[in-house]
Amino acid sequence: MSTTDVGTGHGASISYEATPGSGTFGTEIALARVIPLPERTRAVHDKTHLKSPNNHREKFGGRFDTGPVPLTCIFTDASWSAAHAAMDVGTTGWKIKTAEGSEFTFPGFVSSIGQADRAGEGETTFTVTITPAGAGTWTEAPA
């Protein structure tokens, strides 16, 4: 499964709880240009034994995991400072809101802030990676 781009800033947003556990998602990562939904995976365990039917491997599903959320942000002094402020908060609640109004909330923390990079004559961007710290919840927008 690959990540899904939920928007390029056109109505999509990502925000976090400035006070962990408050339930108030008011602090946005400003100027996030690409906001992907994280990959969800499940561990695969081998349970093959010498008497497995038809000499075929047997497997079962294990624990779930949620992959990182790599944001691409437009560099400004304010967006760079906001990314570092988010990193300083530690593990807190995060909310990704799609342009259609669906939401994915999860506990997580900023695990890296990449170097600012100017691609040719384009804008200067940097990456912020948010690592989920547990299971998330998907809430589909009302129809």
Please write the tens of the pLDDT for every residue from 2-15. 444 444 456 788 99
What pLDDT band is residue 128 in, cutting at 50, 70 and 90?
Answer: very high
CA distance 24 to 16: 8
The pLDDT assigned to 2 comes to 40
Residue ranges per structural domain of the chain: 4-41+68-139
Q: What is the mean pLDDT of residues 106-115?
A: 96
| CATH number for the domain formed by residue range(s) 4-41+68-139 | 4.10.410.40
Burial of 27 (0-12, 13-18, 19+ CB in 10 A): middle
- Per DSSP, helices labelled H in 12-59 are none
Tell me the two tokens of residue 2.
């690959």
**Is 1 exposed, middle or buried, given 0-12, 13-18 or 19+ CB atoms closer than 10 A?**
exposed
| CB-based contact 75:49 (threshold 8 Å) | no
Indicate whether 48 pLDDT > 80: yes
Contact call for residues 134 and 106 (beta carbons, < 8 A): yes
Query: Mean pLDDT throughout 116-134?
Result: 87
End-to-end Cα separation, the chain, in angstroms: 26
Bigger pLDDT: 121 or 22?
22
Confidence at residue 10, expressed as pLDDT on a 0 to 100 scale: 66
Q: Please tell me whether residue 94 adopts helix, strand or coil conformation.
A: strand
Q: pTM for the whole thing?
A: 0.82
Render pLDDT for 64-107 as a digit per residue (tens, 0 to 9).
999 999 999 999 999 999 999 999 999 999 999 998 999 999 99
pLDDT in tens, 14-34: 999 989 989 899 888 878 888
Confidence band of 130 (pLDDT split at 50, 70, 90): very high
